[in-house]
Amino acid sequence: MLPCYQLHTRFIPARYQAALLLEYADAQDLSSQQVLAGSGLHEAALLSPDARLSPAEYLHLLHRINQLLPGAETALQLGQQLLPGQLGPISHALLQAPSLGHALDLLLRQQTWLSPLLAPHLMQLGDQTLLYWTDACISPRLRGFVVDMMMAAVTGMSRWLSGERLPWRYRFNRTRPASLEQYTVHLGSALQFDDCLNAMSIPTTWLAQAWPRGSQARMQLALDEASLLTAGGPRESLLAALYAHLSRQLRNTPCLEQASAAFATSPATFKRHLALHGTHFQAELDQVRTHVTLQLIHNQGYSNEQIAAWLGFHDATNFRRSFKRWTGLTPSVLRSRLLPGI
């Protein structure tokens, strides 16, 4: 297994991610000194071809931008320009994506480069496809900002490449902001807050619709070229790797000891790594269970008893109480939201 990246791993191409931020700040009449203040980074060094940022440094820059330009608009506008991006062959492949399905598949496979802070995942819920994000390397105060940025990025890219506004619906795992105008104009009015995950969904039929400028052959060509470039880099973040591990092991009563063994470290070290990312083992496990519950409810129509049994809970009451603790919602609330759009 290739090594996972963590908060202080330097791998993000500064020339793209940082340059985009500085360019945006410049358009808002902010100097690069203002954005870089306190980061220990220098503009000239940042824009050199080989400069790499760690997620922590990237987060610091985003935090500065958010401080200097408060308001929901900043993240949404930044996101609009983010994809396909200027990442050489990877962006080129994205630009050639023949359909939304291909583009999302690429986003997931090249997550390290296209979305280093939040890991995107796909989930089928009935006739909807859900694109949802879990933490890769993030600080809690910026999670909302980066979620907005990534949602705007995917929205903007799919709108640009398909040539039309796609019927995305948005779900946010946070309380409803005081004013929604920026979200309405940049994303659309299908917005749901106080939800159990950060996701955007679309009817699955849209994934196969051909995009006007796409070409599978040219995309593949660019991808081959990209694989040469990304060969030495990290494949995914520690948290994303743990998420995948827990998803696989969910029915084998996963525990910290087992997980740390899979990552070839001691439980104490593993715990420390997780703490550095602002989380702990149980929280990560509960997150996976939440997402699986969502699928069991939507796709299998499972009752609380059946889900409790599937996840290895003692009984339905126990599961219900736990679910309420994980998400702040009861499973029945989730069921009542089953069919979006109706």
Partner 1 sequence: MPILPRSALIVMLVVSCLCALLYGSLGTAKAMAVWNWMDIVGEGGTAVMSAIWALLILGSRPRGRVTSLLAGGLAAIMLGAWVDCLDEFFSIPQQQLWDNWLESLLTPGGMLALTAGLYHWRQEQWSLNEHMQKRERLFREHRSFDRITQLANADYLHRQLRMEQARQPDATCALILLDLDQFHRINREHGQREGDRLLQAVSHLLLLNMRPQDLICRYAGDRFAILLPATTAGQAAQIALHLQRALAGLAHHTRTGEHCLRITARSVWGVPGDDLEAFLAGLNARLEDDSPAMAAGLASA
Q: How far does Cα 122 stand from its chain's mean position?
A: 10
Residues 189-208 that bind partner 1 (CB under 8 A): 189
Site map 263..302 versus partner 1, x via CB under 8 A: ----------------------------------------
Q: Which is nearer to partner 1, 164 or 224 (CB)?
A: 164
Helix (H, G, I), strand (E, B) or coil at 202: strand
- Burial zone of 115 (CB within 10 Å; 0-12 exposed, 13-18 middle, 19+ buried): buried
> Residue 137 and residue 54: Cα distance in Å, rounded?
10
CB closer to partner 1, 123 vs 187: 187
Q: Restricting to residues 25-54, which ones interact with partner 1 according to CB under 8 A?
A: 27-28
How many residues bind partner 1 (CB under 8 A)? The answer is: 22
Which ranges constitute the DSSP H helices of the chain?
14-27, 32-36, 43-46, 55-68, 72-80, 89-95, 100-109, 111-114, 140-162, 181-186, 216-230, 238-249, 256-262, 267-276, 281-295, 304-311, 316-327, 331-336
Q: What minimum distance in Å lies between the beta carbon of 185 and partner 1?
A: 4
What gap in Å lies between CA 172 and CA 4, rounded to an integer? 27
Residue ranges of alpha helices (H) inside 7-116 are 14-27, 32-36, 43-46, 55-68, 72-80, 89-95, 100-109, 111-114
Please, which residues have CB within 8 angstroms of residue 63's CB and are 6 or more apart in sequence? 139, 141, 142
Task: State whether residue 152 is helix, strand or coil.
Answer: helix
Closest contact distance (angstroms) between CB of 328 and partner 1 is: 24
Nearer to partner 1, 77 or 112 (CB): 77
Write down the least CB distance from residue 23 to partner 1, Å: 8
Which one, 81 or 247, has the nearer CB to partner 1? Answer: 81
Structure tokens at 180: 């929604």
Contacting partner 1 within 152-191 (CB under 8 A): 156, 159-160, 164-165, 179, 181-182, 184-186, 188-189
Q: Which of 315, 307, 310 is nearest to 334 (CA)?
A: 307
Q: Nearer to partner 1 by C-beta: 26 or 305?
A: 26
Residue type, 21: L
Taking CB under 8 A as the criterion, the residue among 43, 73, 105, 286 binding partner 1 is 73
The reply on whether position 315 binds partner 1 by CB under 8 A is no
Rounded least distance, CB 43 to partner 1, Å? 19
Q: Which stretch binds partner 1 (CB under 8 A): 24-32, 43-51, 124-132, 259-267?
A: 24-32
By C-beta, is 181 or 315 nearer to partner 1?
181
Residue 184 Cβ vs partner 1, minimum distance, rounded to whole Å: 5
Contact positions vs partner 1 (CB under 8 A): 23-24, 27-28, 73, 76-77, 80-81, 156, 159-160, 164-165, 179, 181-182, 184-186, 188-189
